[in-house]
């Protein structure tokens, strides 16, 4: 089956409501004020694309890729990302909840300052992601890969980090209150605060 490819195209004000984009590939495309509500993708690829003021409301993306993209002032209300590769992508001033993220890789993406409260991000690959200033209050991060992630001034009040990998993460720079940690995470936090932890 031939995959439809769009390169260096600007889409402005298009209404794609409810369309099935399948495995279409978009390279260096610009989407401005495009309505992508209830759109479905399966194996689609967006590479080096810019989305400005677009609506993704209730859209469903399965095994699709958003690589080195930029989303500005977009609405992601009730969007579903299942097994998607969202790598090196920046989200700025976007509506990011409610949102369903089921597995996948979000390595190196920027969600700086995003409202991610009470989302379930369990098991997600967020290595090297920028989560600084993000609100992760009540968020489930069980088993999430956070190695090298930036959590400076992130709000983790009531968040669940049990089983999360936290190598090279400065938990001391985040806002912690009622945050659930396993033994490994607790030891890391203690050491960041200058404690010397002795086994036994």
Report yes or no on 136 lying in a domain: yes
CATH number at residue 16: 2.160.20
Report yes or no on 47 lying in a domain: yes
Give me the pLDDT at residue 159, please. Answer: 94
pTM for this prediction: 0.89
Give me the pLDDT at residue 50, please. Answer: 98
Give me the pLDDT at residue 131, please. Answer: 97
Give me the pLDDT at residue 176, please. Answer: 86
Query: 121-147, pLDDT tens digit by residue?
Result: 999 999 999 999 999 999 999 999 999
What does the block give as tokens for 152?
């400076």
Q: At 190, give phi and psi (nearest 5°).
A: -60, -45
Mean pLDDT per 10-residue interval, the chain, length 200 residues: 90 97 97 98 98 98 98 98 98 95 96 97 97 97 96 95 92 89 73 56
How many domains, the chain? 2
What does the block give as tokens for 30?
């610009």
- Asked if the bond preceding 98 is cis, omega within 30° of 0, the reply is yes
Give me the pLDDT at residue 194, please. Answer: 56
Report yes or no on 199 lying in a domain: no
Give me the pLDDT at residue 192, please. Answer: 64
- Give the DSSP H or E segment for 47: strand 45-47
What does the block give as tokens for 164?
């999360």
Report yes or no on 200 lying in a domain: no
Q: At 192, give phi and psi (nearest 5°).
A: -65, -25
Q: Cα 145–194–152 angle (5° rounding)? A: 45
Give me the pLDDT at residue 189, please. Answer: 67
Give me the pLDDT at residue 184, please. Answer: 79
Report yes or no on 80 lying in a domain: yes
Domain span at residue 151 reads 106-194
Give me the pLDDT at residue 1, please. Answer: 61
18 lies in the same domain as 77: yes
- List, as one string, the DSSP characters of 80-142: EEEEEEEES-EEES-B--SEEEEEEE-TT-B-TT-B-TT-B-TT-B-TT-B-TT-B-TT-B-T
Report yes or no on 162 lying in a domain: yes
């Amino acid at each position: 089956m031939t995959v439809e490819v769009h390169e260096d195209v600007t889409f402005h004000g298009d209404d794609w409501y409810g369309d099935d984009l399948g495995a279409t590939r978009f390279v260096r495309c610009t989407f401005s004020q495009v309505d992508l509500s209830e759109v479905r993708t399966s194996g689609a690829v967006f590479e080096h694309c810019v989305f400005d003021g677009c609506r993704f409301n209730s859209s469903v993306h399965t095994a699709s890729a958003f690589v080195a993209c930029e989303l500005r002032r977009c609405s992601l209300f009730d969007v579903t990302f299942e097994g998607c590769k969202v790598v090196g992508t920046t989200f700025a001033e976007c509506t990011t909840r409610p949102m369903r993220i089921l597995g996948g890789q979000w390595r190196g993406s920027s969600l700086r300052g995003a409202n991610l409260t009470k989302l379930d991000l369990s098991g997600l690959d967020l290595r090297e992601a920028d989560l600084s200033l993000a609100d992760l209050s009540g968020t489930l991060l069980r088993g999430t890969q956070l190695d090298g992630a930036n959590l400076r001034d992130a709000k983790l009040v009531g968040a669940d980090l049990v089983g999360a990998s936290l190598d090279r993460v400065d938990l001391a720079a985040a806002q912690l209150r009622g945050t659930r940690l396993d033994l490994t995470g607790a030891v890391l936090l203690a050491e960041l605060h200058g404690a010397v932890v002795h086994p036994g």
